Structure 1
Amino acid sequence: MKIKQFFVGLLLFFQFITYAQNIKKEVLFTIDDKTYYTDEFSRVYNKNLDLVKDESQKDLTQYLELFVGYKLKIHKANKLGLQNGEAYINELNSYRTQLSKNYLTDSKVTKELVEEGYNRSLKEIKASHILITVDENASAADTLIAYNKIKSIHDRALKGEDFGKLAEELSEDPSAKENKGDLGYFSAFRMVYAFESAAYKTPKGKISNPIRTRFGYHIVKVDDVRDNRGEITVEHIMILNPKDATTEESEKAKNKIQDIYQKIQQGENFEELAKQFSDDKSSSPKGGLLNRFGSGQLSSEEFENAAFSLTIQKPISAPFQSEFGWHIVKLIEKHPVKPFEEVKSELENKVGKDDRSRLIANSLNEKLRKKYAVKRDNKLYKASAKTVTDDFYENKWELPAVTKPFDGKLFVIQEKTITGTDFLNYVKEQQQAGIKLKPINKLVDNLYEKFLDTKLNNYYNDNLELEFPDFANVIEEYRDGLLLFDLMEKEIWEKSKTDSIGLQAFYEGRKLEYTWKNRVNATVASSTNIEVIKKHKKCLNKMLILNKLKKN
C-alpha cells in the first residue's frame, strides 16, 4: 500500500468518516472568508465518538480545538495552491471514479443477477443446440429469414425428428457436423446469458423456443441436469494415439500405457513416470499436474468423467482412452462448490463483465430517463440526422463544413444544454465501432438512443455529490486528507530532506544530548574454582603492569 493512501486512510478513519443524520446547520466558525458549520462538526464528532475509548478524548471543547486546527491546515494548503497540483487532481479523480461505481449501477438488479448466477451454478446442464447465424445489426429482412429457418427446424424437432440429425444437417455451428450439436455439461457463466437462461429454464428432455444471441438464433435441447461437481485438480500421464494411427501404432500406445500403469501398481512414483513418459509436454515437466477445472472446461468429456470419479480411497484411475489417446489420472484435490458468501464478490465481477451487465445498465438508463424527463427538439434532430450519409459505413463521413445551424438545444438535462452539434460529434466518433445497422436513418436513431443514455449517465455521475450527501462527505474528507498529506510533505518532510542549513543547526544544537556518559572498558571473568580465579587475577595484574610500562 502506498504511504499516501495509508496516511489518508488513517485520517478518514480517525477523523472524517461519514455519519448521516439531520443536524441543524449553523455557522460554527470562519477562516478568512470560508465558513464552517455545526452540522459537519456534529457529524464527525458523533461518528468518532464510537471509535474513541479514552473518555478524556470525548471532551467537546478539546475536540473542537482539534477540528479547528485541522481546518486551519486545510485552509493553508488551499492558500498555497496545493489543490491545483496535477498529481493531487489525478489521485482525487481516481478515487472518485472508484467510489462512484457503487452509485452508477442498479444495486437491486445486480443483487438479483448475482443470486441467480449462484443458484444456477449449483446445477450443471447437458444440452445440445442448433444455430442459424445472423448478425446483431442485420436488416429486418435478413433477421426474418434467419428466424423462419430456426422456426421451421424447431417445428420439425417438436414433431419428433432426431435433434442430433437435424443439428448435423442444418445447424450453422461448424462443430455440429462432428458433435451433432452436443455441448456437453456446462454451468452458469459458461455461455452467453440469453443462451444460459434458455438452457436453465427448459425442463430436462424438452426443447426451448427459438432464442436470439449475438451469434444468431438457437434452439436448445436439455439432455440432462445434475448437481454441480465443483472443480478438481489432477495429474495425468498421456500416451498419444492419433485418429489416423495404424492398428500396430494403436496397439503399441495401448501396451505402453499398460506398462506405465503396472509400474505405478508396483509403487513407482507417478510424477517421475509422468516426466519420463507423458506425451503432454505442457504438463509432463510438472509431474503431469493440470490446472484445476470443472465440467465442460476441457475438450474431453471422457477425461472429465474419469477424473471426477476418483476418490481418496481410489486416487488413481486405470488406463482409459479418449479422442486424444490413452490416459492415467491421479487425484490431487477436489474443490466443492463454495458457499454464496465466499464467492459473492467473484460473482459480482463476473456479472459486471458478462452479458448480464447490459440488464443492469438498461435498468439504470430507464430510471434516469424517468428522473430527468428529457424533451427532444425533433425539428433540430431531423435536420442533424439528415447530414449523416452512407459514408458512415466506410468511416468516411464528416461533419458539415458549417455546424452553426446545429448549435441549438437538442435537449436539456436540468440546466445542462446538449446541442445538435454535440450529437453529430458523437456520431462521428462511433464510426470507429464498425456498426453496420441499415438503413442509415435506423442507425442514426439507434446512435441517438445511446447518445442520450451516455449524456444522462454523465450528468448523473457529475452530480452525485448533490444526489447523495454521504458521497459528497466522503469525497470532501478524502480531498482534505490528500491536501493535508501534501501540506505535510511540502512544509515538513521535503524541508527535512533539503534544508541542509536547518539540519546542520538542528544537529549542532542537540549533539551534546547524544554523547556517551563516563564509561570503562572491562573484562569480566567468572569461575566456580577459587584457584582458577586467583591464577587469572595474577595474569590480569601482570597485563596491567605491562600496559603501564608501554605507555611510559
Structure 2
Amino acid sequence: MNHRTISAHIVILQFSCMLAWSISAVAQDRDQALLTVDGRPVDKDELVYLISKGKNTDTPMAGVSREEFEENLDLFINYKLKVREAEALGLDRTEEFTKEFESFKETLIYPYLIKNSLEEGELRKAYSRMQEVVRASHILFQFPPNASSEDSLIVLKMALKVRGEIENGASINELAVQYSDDPSAKKNKGDLGYFTSLQMVQPFEDAAYNLQVGQLSDPVLSNFGYHIIQVKDRQPNPGQVRVSHILVRFDAEDPTQEENARRKISDIYAEIQKESTIWEDIVKTFSEDPATNQRGGILPWFGVGNMIPEFEMAAFSLTEIGEVSPPLKTQYGYHILRLEEKKPISSYEEMEETIRSRILRDSRSGMIQSQVVAIQKARYGFVEDENSVANLARVLNPITKSSFESALEANSLEDSPLFTLQGKTATASDLAEFMKNEEISPKVKGGTFDIWYDRFVANTLAKTEENDLETNNKEYQMLLKEYRDGILLFSLMNQEVWQKGITDSLGQVEFYRKNIDRYRWKDRVEAFVVKVLDKSHLENARKALSGNGYNQGLIQEFNANYKANTPLAFQTESGIFEYEDHLVLSKANLNQSYQEIELNGTLHLVMLGQKFPAASREFEESRGLVIRDYQEFLDQSLIQSLKSKYPIQINAQVKEEAFLALNQ
C-alpha cells in the first residue's frame, strides 16, 4: 500500500463527503491522544478507523508496513489541519453545513436504530414466507356498525359455533355460502385461491402460515371482523409468469350469449391447433380484450395472488414456452392462454425495497412502531405518572389543539408530570410546547390529549435513542465524525483550492510562466487513423485512402461516406498527435504518407502529414493541465501555511499503539 491508499480515501471525502463528525462528548486526555492539532486532541481510533476503511476489501486486511503507516499518518495530519482551518473559518456554523449534515445524519443513523432491526426482521420473515404459496378458505363474521363489547362477543360466539360445525364434519365452503359476510363468498364459497406473504392483512396471513394443510384456525381477529380459516394446500412459490391470451366475452345473465361464446372459443382453439396458424393474427382477429388484442394478447408479469384463481391456475399449469391452454371460463368470459415466459421468485436483495414499501404501508408498520416504543421505554427507564396522565386525558381530550395551552393554564395543569425518562421529568407544558411546531393528519382519530401525548412520547424516546447512540456507540460516532469532517473538508477545499484554481485566471497565468518547462509538446505529426472493424469494407477504404497523405478534404469525405452507409465498419480519429505516446502511431514509419498497421489482430489504415518538432505549448493549449497543477500547488501551499498556523504534537507511544492495532 502506498500513499495513494489513504489519499484516495480522502479524495472520496472531498468529492462525496465521506468523512465526518466527531465524538464531541468528552475531551480527550492529551496523554492518551494520538496527536494534538492546535492543542485539540485527536484519538488514535480515528486514524485506525480511516486506514482500515481505506483498505476495506473482500479479503481480510493484511496489515500495513511501517512505511505505509507513516505515509498515511502524514496524510491524516494534513486532513486534520484542513478540518481545523474549516472550523476556524466558521464553516461548521453555516446554515448550508447544518442542513447538509442533518440530512446525512438522518440516513446514517437508520441502520443503528431499534426500528431498523425490527423492520429487517419483518422483511426477512415476509421473504421467507414468499418461498411458499398457501391456498385457504375462510368464513368472515363482520361486526355491526359502531359495535359494542357485547356485539363483539356475540360475533365471536357465532364464529366459534360455526367452527364447531366444521370440526364435526361440515364443509367450510358450504358454510361460507350460508354464513360468511365476505361478499365474494356467494361465488367462490370462501375459497381465496393461492396467496403468499403481504397479500392478506397481517393477522390473516400469520394464522394461515401457521396452519398445516386441513387444519382449522381459531377465530382470527382483523379489521374486517373474525375469520375462520382452513388451509387447503401449500406449495413452493412458482415465481412469476407472463402469458398472452385471447378473450371472448359474454353476459353471464344471458345463457344464449354464453353458449355462443363457448362455441366461438372452441372454434378458435381448433384453429390454433393448425400448424400454419399465427397466434398474433388470431389474437388481433378474435380477442375481445381491447387492451391487448393489438399487441399479441400480452399481459404483464404476475405472481400468485395477483389474478383471479382460475386464470392464475391455468397460467401456472403451463410448462413449455409457447404452450397453449384449453379454453377456460372466468367471470370476464372465455380465455385461451399461451405461455410466454417464466421466472423464479427474485432474490431478497432484488425484492428488499418492494417488501419494505409494502410493509410500511400496512398494519405491520404500526406493530413495528409499538414494539420500538416498548423497547425504548424499557431500555431508557421510562416511567409514566399514570394518575397525572389519566387526569390530563379526562380534562384535555375534549379540548381542541388551539385551546390546549389556555386549558392547561385555566386548570393550573402546566406542571403536571407526564413521565420520567433517564431521571428527567416531562410535564404538560413540555407537551404543549411540542404541539406548537407539529402537525397531525386529521385522519388520526381520538382525544386531543391522547393523540398528542402518544406522539410526544414517541418523539422524546426517539431523540433519547439518538443521543444514546451518539454518546455510547463507537461505530456510529466514527461514522458521524467521518461525515461531519468530510463536509467541512469539501467546503474548505472548494473555497481555497478547487474554485480558486478554476477562477483565478491571473494566478493560472503566473503559475504557467513560472513552470513553463512543464508544458511542452513532444514531437508531433498530422495523422488520420482508420480502425477497420468490418473487413468486408476494407477494399473500399483502401481505394479511397491509399496513395494519399493527410488531407482534410479527403478525411471529411471519407467520414461522411462511411457514417452514412457503413456506420459500424470503421472507427476514425484525426488531428495532430504526439506520436511517441500514441498506440498506433508509435508503430508508424513517419516517412510514409500512407501505410497499414496491424495491432492486436486489428488493421489500421494510416495517413500522415506534416511533422512538428517539440515545442512549448501556448497557455491556452495548456489551460486544462495548468488548472490541475495550479490546484495541486494551492493545496500544497495551504498545507504548509496550516502547519505554520496550527502546532502539531504527536504522542510517540500512542502512535505505536495505533500501528500495532492495524497489524493485529
The alignment's TM-score, normalised by the length of structure 2, stands at 0.66
2:94 pairs with 1:85: yes
Q: Distance in 1 between matches of 2:50 and 2:221?
A: 53
The 2-side partners of 1:487 and 1:334 are apart by 55
Partner deviation per Cα, 1:123-167 (whole Å, 9 max, x = no partner)? 322222222334999654454344344334434444444433433
Moved more, 484-493 or 396-405: 396-405
Report if aligned partners of 1:130, 1:170 keep a CA contact under 8 Å in 2: yes
CA distance in 2, matches of 1:5, 1:415: 42
The change in CA–CA distance for 1:505 and 1:54 in structure 2 (over 3 A counts) is farther
**Counterpart-to-counterpart distance in 2, 1:432 and 1:349:** 20
Cα distance in 2 for residues equivalent to 1:331 and 1:5: 54
Cα deviations by residue, 1:74-110 (Å, 9 ceiling, x for unpaired): 1111222222333433332222222222222367655
**Structure 2 letter corresponding to 1:325:** G
**Which residue in the other structure is 1:363 paired with?**
371
List alignment gaps of at least 5 residues for structure 1. 529-552
1:123, 1:187 within 8 Å by CA — same for their partners in 2? yes
Mean Cα deviation higher: 467-476 or 166-175 = 166-175
1:216 equivalent in structure 2: 225
Note the alpha carbon deviations across 1:185-219, whole angstroms, 9 max, x for none.
Answer: 11122111210111122332332111111222221
User: Contact (CA 8 Å) 1:321, 1:327: kept in 2 or not?
Assistant: yes
1:532 maps to none
Does the 8 A contact of 1:105 with 1:361 survive in 2? no
Q: Which of 372, 375, 380 pairs up with 2:380?
A: 372
1:191 counterpart = 2:200: yes
Change (3 A) 1:15 1:390: closer
Q: 1:271 matched to which residue of 2?
A: 280
The one-letter amino acid paired with 1:183 is: L
2:72 is aligned, of 43, 63, 66, to: 63
Q: Classify the secondary structure of the residue corresponding to 1:307.
A: helix
CA distance in 1, matches of 2:120, 2:416: 41
Aligned length: 514
* Residue 310, structure 1, aligned to residue 318, structure 2: yes
1:174–1:57 distance in 2 versus 1, CA, 3 Å: farther
Alpha-carbon distance change, 135 to 62 in structure 1, aligned in 2, over 3 angstroms = farther
Q: Which amino acid aligns with 1:305?
A: M
Q: What's the counterpart of residue 147 of structure 1?
A: 156
Match of 1:329 in 2: 337
Indicate which of 482, 498, 502 corresponds to 2:507. Answer: 502
Distance 1:89 1:527 in 2: 64
Q: 1:125 aligns with which of 125, 134, 137?
A: 134
CA contact (8 A) 1:302 1:322 kept: yes
Q: How many Å apart are 1:339 and its aligned residue?
A: 6.2
Q: Distance in 1 between matches of 2:312 and 2:38?
A: 73
CA contact (8 A) 2:18 2:482 kept: no
Q: Report SS of the residue matched to 1:205.
A: coil
Between the aligned partners of 1:33 and 1:138, the Cα distance in structure 2 is: 71
Percent pairwise identity: 31
State the partner residue of 1:38: 44
Structure 1 residue 73 corresponds to structure 2 residue 82: yes
State the match for 2:567 in structure 1: none
* Alignment check: 8 A CA contact 1:88 1:482 kept: yes
Question: How far, CA to CA, are the matches of 2:47 and 2:440 in structure 1?
Answer: 52
Deviations for 1:5-28, whole angstroms, at most 9, x for unmatched residues?
A: 99339888899999xxxx997133
Distance 2:466 2:144 in 1: 33
Q: Distance in 2 between matches of 1:313 and 1:525?
A: 60
- Matched residue, 2:642: none
Q: 1:479 to 1:402 in 2, by over 3 A?
A: same
After TM superposition, the structure 1 stretch with the greater mean CA deviation from structure 2, 159-168 or 201-210, is 159-168
Counterpart of 1:206 in structure 2 is 215
Show the counterpart of 1:482: 487
Distance in 2, matches of 1:71 and 1:171, equals 71
Q: Per-residue CA shift, 1:384-439, capped at 9, x if unaligned?
A: 223324466xx8864435546314543232265422133356789687444555xx
Query: Which amino acid in 1 is paired with 2:501?
Result: S
1:293 & 1:244 partners in 2: Cα distance?
30
| Counterpart in the other structure of 1:237 | 246
Q: Which residue of 2 aligns with 1:291?
A: 300
SS at match of 2:413: helix
Query: Where does 1:369-518 land on structure 2 (aligned, <5 Å)?
Result: 369-378=377-386, 380-390=388-398, 398-401=404-407, 403=409, 405-407=413-415, 409-414=417-422, 416-423=424-431, 432-436=441-445, 448=453, 451-506=456-511
Q: Which runs of 5+ in 2 are unaligned?
A: 1-8, 527-548, 551-590, 596-664
Please, what is the CA RMSD of the aligned residues?
A: 4.2
